[in-house]
Amino acid sequence: MLDKSAYMDVDAELDRRPPLPRAETIPSAWFTEPRFHDLDSEAIFARTWQGIGHVGRLPEPGSWFVAEVAGDPIVVVRGRDNEIRAFYNVCRHRGGPLATSDGCGRVLQCEYHGWTYQLDGTLRGVPHWNLVELFDREEYGLVPVRVETWEGQIFVNLDPKAAALGEVLAGIRERISPVRPGEMKHYRRVEYEVRSNWKVYVENFLEGYHIPIVHPELMTLYDFRSYRTETAPWYSLQTSDLTSEQNLYEREGGGEAWYYCVFPNFMLNILPGRLQTNLVTPVDHQNCRVVFEYFYDDVESEAARRKIDEDIEFAERIQNEDIGICEHVQRGLGSRGYDRGRFSVKFESGVYHFQDLVRGAYARFLNEGTGRLDAPEPLDPRHDD
Smaller CB distance to ligand FES: residue 117 or 201? 117
Q: Radius of gyration of the chain from Cα atoms?
A: 22
CB of 137 to ligand FES, least distance (A): 13
129 binds, among ligand FES, Fe ion, none (CB under 5 to 8 A by kind): none
List the x/- string, 111-130, binding to ligand FES by CB under 6 A. -xxxx---------------
Size of the site for Fe ion (CB under 5 A): 1
Smaller CB distance to Fe ion: residue 100 or 226? 226
What is the number of other CB atoms lying within 10 angstroms of the CB of residue 354? 25
CA gap 279, 192 in Å, rounded: 10
Binders in 73-112 for ligand FES, by CB under 6 A: 91, 93-96, 110, 112
List the x/- string, 341-360, binding to ligand FES by CB under 6 A. --------------------
The helix/strand/coil state of 146 is strand
Shortest Cβ contact with Fe ion: which residue? Answer: 322
Q: Which segments of 277-339 does DSSP mark as H helices, in order?
A: 302-333
**Residue 354 has what DSSP assignment?**
H
Smaller CB distance to ligand FES: residue 110 or 168? 110
The helix/strand/coil state of 11 is helix
Say if residues 23 and 126 touch (Cβ distance below 8 Å).
no
322 binds, among Fe ion, ligand FES, none (CB under 5 to 8 A by kind): Fe ion
CB of 130 to ligand FES, least distance (A): 16
Smaller CB distance to ligand FES: residue 74 or 351? 74
114 binds, among ligand FES, Fe ion, none (CB under 5 to 8 A by kind): ligand FES
Count Cα neighbours of 160 within 13 Å in the Cβ-side half-sphere: 3
338 binds, among Fe ion, ligand FES, none (CB under 5 to 8 A by kind): none
Query: Using omega within 30 degrees of 0 as the cis cutoff, is the peptide bond preceding 61 cis?
Result: no
CB of 119 to ligand FES, least distance (A): 17
User: What residues have CB less than 8 Å from 14, skipping those under 6 apart?
Assistant: 359, 362, 363, 366, 375
Say if residues 264 and 48 touch (Cβ distance below 8 Å).
yes
Say if residues 84 and 145 touch (Cβ distance below 8 Å).
no
Size of the site for ligand FES (CB under 6 A): 10
Smaller CB distance to ligand FES: residue 62 or 125? 125
- Please report the DSSP string for 132-173 in residue order: --S--GGGGSPPEEEEEEETTEEEEES-TTSPPHHHHTTTHH
Smaller CB distance to Fe ion: residue 86 or 315? 315
Query: Using omega within 30 degrees of 0 as the cis cutoff, is the peptide bond preceding 21 cis?
Result: no
188 binds, among ligand FES, Fe ion, none (CB under 5 to 8 A by kind): none
List the x/- string, 303-342, binding to Fe ion by CB under 5 A. -------------------x--------------------
CA gap 65, 74 in Å, rounded: 8
Residue among 109, 107, 74 at smallest CA distance from 88:
74
Chain positions contacting ligand FES, by CB under 6 A: 91, 93-96, 110, 112-115
Chain positions contacting Fe ion, by CB under 5 A: 322
